[in-house]
């Protein structure tokens, strides 16, 4: 069946393009420091040397705090983002299935059911993200009005 090959090829191209878009990021490194005087022996790098990682994280607006709720929030947020991307890819696949049904009622019904299921899945993932964002924000003392919990967006709530 050449139609299935075309569908698999299109899905592979879409996944490759989406993956390429998520993998590539611009990273700027610090300029290297001037070399030390040759008379002084080279000292080992201190434990706090991060080789420009803090500057890069600040430029990318990534959280640099190591608190547990922030780390958990980042992991859960990344996982929910990947799951919602999978639901979106499933929706595209179902749309292609629907377009290639050619009047076959069973295939078009299956495609529509898949589209509705993926929309419901995306709604559930967004609700889970909102709940996680609120709960972890309450635990860490930061109620976020939008964005990432660990990034410290919004205003911190304080109790008297």
Under the phi-then-psi rule, with left for phi > 0, alpha for psi from -120 to 50, and beta for the rest, what region is 123? Answer: alpha
Q: Which of 95, 88, 145, 94 is nearest to 121 (CA)?
A: 88
Highest mean pLDDT among 18-32, 60-74, 91-105: 91-105
- pLDDT of residue 87 exceeding 60, the answer is yes
According to DSSP, the residues that pair with 156 across neighbouring strands are 142
Q: Please give the pLDDT value at position 54.
A: 77
Q: Please give the pLDDT value at position 74.
A: 78
Q: Please give the pLDDT value at position 118.
A: 93
Segment 27-59, tens digit of pLDDT:
555 666 666 555 555 555 554 566 777 777 788
Q: How far is CA 11 from CA 38, 63, 97, 130, 155, in A?
A: 58, 34, 11, 30, 42
- pLDDT of residue 156 exceeding 50, the answer is no
Q: Please give the pLDDT value at position 43.
A: 54
| 96: enclosing H helix or E strand | helix 68-99
Highest mean pLDDT among 49-58, 70-79, 91-100: 91-100
Q: Please give the pLDDT value at position 90.
A: 94
**What does the pLDDT average to over 143-159?**
49
Q: Please give the pLDDT value at position 154.
A: 46
Would you list the domain boundaries of the chain? 68-141
Q: Please give the pLDDT value at position 7.
A: 77
- pLDDT of residue 157 exceeding 70, the answer is no
In this structure, what DSSP letter does residue 147 have?
S
- pLDDT of residue 9 exceeding 90, the answer is no
Question: Whats the size of the chain, residue-wise?
Answer: 160
């Amino acid at each position: 069946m050449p139609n299935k090959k075309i569908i698999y090829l299109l899905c592979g191209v879409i996944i490759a393009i989406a993956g390429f878009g998520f993998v590539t990021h611009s990273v700027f490194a610090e300029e290297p420091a001037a070399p030390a005087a040759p008379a002084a022996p080279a000292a080992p790098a201190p434990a706090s040397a991060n080789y420009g990682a803090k500057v890069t994280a600040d430029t990318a607006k990534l959280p640099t705090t190591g608190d547990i709720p922030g780390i958990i929030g980042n992991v859960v947020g990344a996982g929910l983002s990947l799951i919602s991307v999978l639901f979106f890819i499933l929706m595209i696949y179902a749309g292609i299935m629907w377009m290639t049904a050619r009047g076959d009622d069973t295939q078009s019904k299956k495609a529509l059911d898949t589209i509705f299921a993926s929309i419901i899945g995306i709604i559930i993932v967004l609700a889970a993200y909102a709940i996680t964002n609120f709960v972890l924000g309450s635990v860490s003392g930061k109620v976020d009005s939008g964005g990432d919990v660990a990034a410290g967006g919004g205003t911190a709530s304080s109790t008297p």
